[in-house]
A and B are shown apart, each in its own frame.
Chain A
Amino acid sequence: MTARAASRLAWVLFALTVLCALGGAVLLIANRPMGAGPFVRDGLVPDAVAVTYAGSGAFIAVQRPGNRLAWILVLFGLGFGLTDLAAEYAVRALVTAPGSLPGGPAAAWLQYPFFGPVFPLLLPLIVVLFPDGRLPSRSWQPLVWLTGIAGLGITAAGAFSQGPLVSAFRQVSLGSNPLGVLKLTTAQTIGLAIVQVAVLVLAAAATLTRLVRSTGVERQQLKWLALAGAATAICAGASFVVGGVAGQVVLDAMIVLLTVGFPTAIAVALLRHRLFDIDTVIHRSLLYAALALFITGVYVAVVAGLGALVGAGGQPSLILSILATAVVAVAFQPVRERLQYLANQLVYGRRATPYEAMTELSHRIAGQLPADEVLPSLAEVTARVIGSPSSRVRLHQPGGQDLLACWPPGVDVTGPIDTVGVVSREERVGEISVQQPFGEPLTRSQRTVLSDLAVQAGPILSNVRLTSELRRRVDEISARARQLRESRERIISAAEAQRRRLDEEIQGGTQRQLEAVAARLGEAEELLRTDPARGGELLNRLADQAQVALDELRDLARGVFPPLLADRGLVPALEAHLRKVGLPPGLEVDAALARARFDPDVEAALYFCCIETLQHAARTGSETPSAIRLVAAAGWLELTVPAPSPTGLGDVTDRIEALGGAVEPRPGATLLARIPMGAAARYA
């Protein structure tokens, strides 16, 4: 059934009920001379019940077509309407104007099928299905079957038992049951009544368990029903105790509660309109009742109690009345405050109003700053306060991914949701969304609460954002510091390794050559004595060897730090190196840079970057076809070196980065090392 068809059906049933009630009322007025009880109470109240229940049922059904409770309320009202119409019709046809209308006995009998199910069947169902139209749990399913059987059984037993027929609400005698075939004993009648009461008690027990387990919205809904029920029960109890005019007032109050109070409470609870005001209502009721009790108590105590003591003899004393009034006047304010406090404690527990609860919860949230604590709390508060089954909070992070938190945790909130933006200092910092059950859109008051919540969430989210931004930056800089530390370690250990290597090279090369020379010098001296020619030859060979040792040492020294680099700068040093190693790549330099001088650190870093990259390429046996380029571009000094395999050049990178520069592989198997001109400090 579509929502549209459902609402149409609901309104049709309501219209039918109204017609029945109108018909019943018209006939009632026509039948006026007849009937036992008071005219209005017994005659018009059923019509009022029919209209209010069917009306509130239809109203709920239109908004919550899925809720079975709405339809049962409609049927409840319709049952009253049909019964009253049938009853008054039968009274008219059989008693007040016999023969004026056809089918009098049929109408009289139809009261049974119309009214039979209303109390034994529909009432327990209303109680057990409240508030969501579902049973509290599956284990209550047998109660529904029992209710159905009992309701139909009681209806059938009434419809087919022998005996006199009376009009339903006014007890006008309508002859005997034409279809009376059963003869029920008194015990059987009592048994049926017991079953009916038992079913109602069981339904009430089901609702009680629901109340015990309920939280949030459901609890508030149940409170509305409980309020109506409690008020009715108090009136019913009072009607037994109080007599006279007061008793009549109590009864009238009970009737108003039954006709208007219950359907209104049910409609408010189901439609969640000002749902959370229930606590306020209960609170006020308790407060005023207690105050009334206090005033009554003071008067009774002072006027009757003191009166008896001073021997006023049962006569009301003006002085005592004045005294009582004075006592009340003096004590009223402190007593009211005390009672208010007690009522607060009783009704709200630790929270005073939904808004104060929201405030308190946001205080709780404000104590926590990390996003992973605040966002879930906020989502939870939202769901609880709005009464939605699930909610989601989203935090926009500047330049980062949005952070999301859903409630209940782990639920993926997707699909149709209601969202309000959270704004702080005119900037949208996030949003709060709730997801309602299908067919239950947010009511206006829920929307109001949601936007109030969003306003409160503004500073909270903006704070979270600030904090997480700060944290992110702390993490970022910590990571950078760690990298720096590692880089510094690498630089130091690279230098250490280099010294070790240099040491080995000197020992293995120059030193060994020189030791060989030293070892043979004595021999040369001997030879000179005996054979100067061979001695001279040996000396020449040793001179060659010394020259080799010298050349090696020069190379090593140049590798340590080329004198040209210090004396004449980067470009001449690079040119000399390339000339020396005879590598194919040429050197392309901006004319302006050819003789330029830079900070010694920068010159050394770029020089060794170039040399080590070339050496690395040579070691890995790669061709280095492209030229080396040194250019000044947009504030950077850029060196492009052919680097067929840019891996394993960490030392180079560390050194360049230490000067605020960067090293990055470029297309065409080259490496681009650049250092900001500021750091390069050209001083040519």
Chain B
Amino acid sequence: MVLRNFRLTAALHVRLDDITRQEAELRRSRQRTVAAQDAERRRLERNIHDGAQQHLVALAVKLRLAGSLAHRDTARAMTLAAELQWETRQALATLRELTRGIYPPLLAERGLGAALRSQAATMLIEVDVAEHGLGRAASAAEYAVYFCCLEALQNSAKHSAATRVLVRLDIDDHELRFSVSDDGRGFDPQSIRQGSGLRNMHDRAEAVGGQLDIRTARGCGVTVQGSVPMLAAEAMQ
């Protein structure tokens, strides 16, 4: 009787420990999410400041200059105006790139495959996106998967020395599955402390009820794969 009670109580204790750990992990994950968002905001602000904003400053100054030169040195003003046309287009391009980074319009309009392909086009490594007639999921789910895939792609581009990356996307009634695998040098999962990038991927996937798994070994490339449930993702909407 005593033993049995002890066992049951111990089982409860284990569960309590488990759930307490889970709760603590969630708390940390939430804090990381907020920190990641703040970092993201700072980065975005710097982006705007250093990119589009500088273009605009230069544009405004040049326009003002051209305006003031119009009488005295029309030829110079005309040269400036011609340059300005090109620079304005450059500024616009910067702005569009900025907004694409902020919230990918393709993701909302044409789905995950198109959005990832358009991002892959700007990268220095070859990226294949394998998806055939991929259906649409709730936007929170799609965005989470988009975020994870993009993060994985950027990791591959930055750290792996890979030449090719394959992105697979697959959807069924229950979940949206994804995997990003490169042919790079990989890393030893034991040796690397999970960086904020990897943790953010986990957090993002788990936040919509999904899961994420990173498989790698030295010299074997990296595969990031995960899934996000359709139901939970829809329930969030």
- Which residues does A use to contact B, with CB under 8 Å? 363, 366-367, 369, 463, 466-467, 470-471, 473-474, 477-478, 480-481, 484-485, 487-489, 491-493, 495-496, 499-500, 502-503, 506-507, 510-511, 514-515, 517-518, 521-522, 524-525, 528-529, 532-533, 535-537, 539-540, 542-543, 546-547, 549-550, 553-554, 556-558, 560-563, 566, 600-601, 604-605, 654-655, 657-659
Contacts and interface: CB of A to CB of B under 8 A. Distances in A.
A506 B98 contact: yes
Interface stretch (B40-48, B129-137, B218-226): B40-48
Nearest to B44: A560
A558 B48 CA distance: 10
A484 B140 contact: no
A495 B71 CA distance: 50
Given A363-B1, A470-B16, A601-B38, A518 B52 contact: no
Given A496-B143, A543-B60, A566-B42, 20 more contacts: A369-B8, A467-B8, A470-B9, A477-B19, A487-B30, A488-B29, A491-B30, A492-B204, A503-B103, A511-B99, A514-B56, A514-B59, A525-B81, A528-B78, A539-B81, A540-B67, A542-B67, A550-B56, A561-B45, A658-B27
Contacts of B88: 514, 517-518, 521
Nearest to A525: B81
B63 interface: yes
B77 A528 contact: yes
Contact of B77 (A485, A488, A536, A542): A536
Interface stretch (B89-97, B114-122, B182-190): B89-97
Given A467-B9, A535-B77, A553 B52 contact: yes
B11 to A, nearest CB: 10
Interface in B1-58: 1, 4-5, 8-9, 12-13, 15-16, 19-20, 22-23, 26-27, 29-31, 33-35, 37-38, 40-42, 44-45, 48-49, 52-53, 56-57
Contact of A514 (B41, B70, B95, B236): B95
A546 B59 contact: yes
Contact of B85 (A467, A522, A566): A522
B74 interface: yes
B19 A561 contact: no
Q: From DSSP, what is the main secondary structure of chain B's interface residues?
A: helix
A678 to B, nearest CB: 13
Nearest to B108: A500
A481 B53 contact: no
Contacts of B143: 496
B4 A366 contact: yes
A655 B12 CA distance: 32
Given A477-B20, A522-B85, A543-B64, A511 B48 contact: no
Contacts of A547: 60
Nearest to A566: B42
A543 B105 contact: no
B167 interface: no
A499 B48 contact: no
A470 B207 CA distance: 27
Q: Which 3 A-B pairs have the closest CB atoms?
A: A536-B70, A543-B63, A539-B67
A480 B23 contact: yes
Contacts of A539: 63-64, 66-67, 70, 77, 81
A542 B87 CA distance: 14
Contacts of B144: 492
24 contacts: A470-B12, A470-B13, A480-B23, A484-B23, A488-B33, A489-B207, A492-B207, A496-B103, A499-B103, A502-B102, A502-B103, A514-B91, A528-B78, A532-B71, A536-B66, A536-B67, A537-B70, A539-B67, A540-B68, A542-B63, A560-B41, A561-B38, A561-B41, A601-B34
A506 B102 contact: yes
Nearest to B54: A550
Contacts of B33: 488, 491-492, 658
Nearest to B38: A604
B228 interface: no
A50 B105 CA distance: 109
Contacts of B20: 477
Given A467-B12, A561-B44, A484 B30 contact: yes
Contacts of B59: 514, 517, 546, 550
A557 B48 contact: yes
Contact of B84 (A493, A521, A654): A521
B208 interface: yes
Contacts of B30: 484, 487-488, 491, 654, 657-658
Contact of B12 (A471, A480, A529, A601): A471
A566 B46 CA distance: 11
B82 interface: yes
A542 B38 CA distance: 35
Contact of B19 (A474, A488, A525, A550): A474
Contacts of A471: 12
A528 B47 CA distance: 35
A535 B48 contact: no
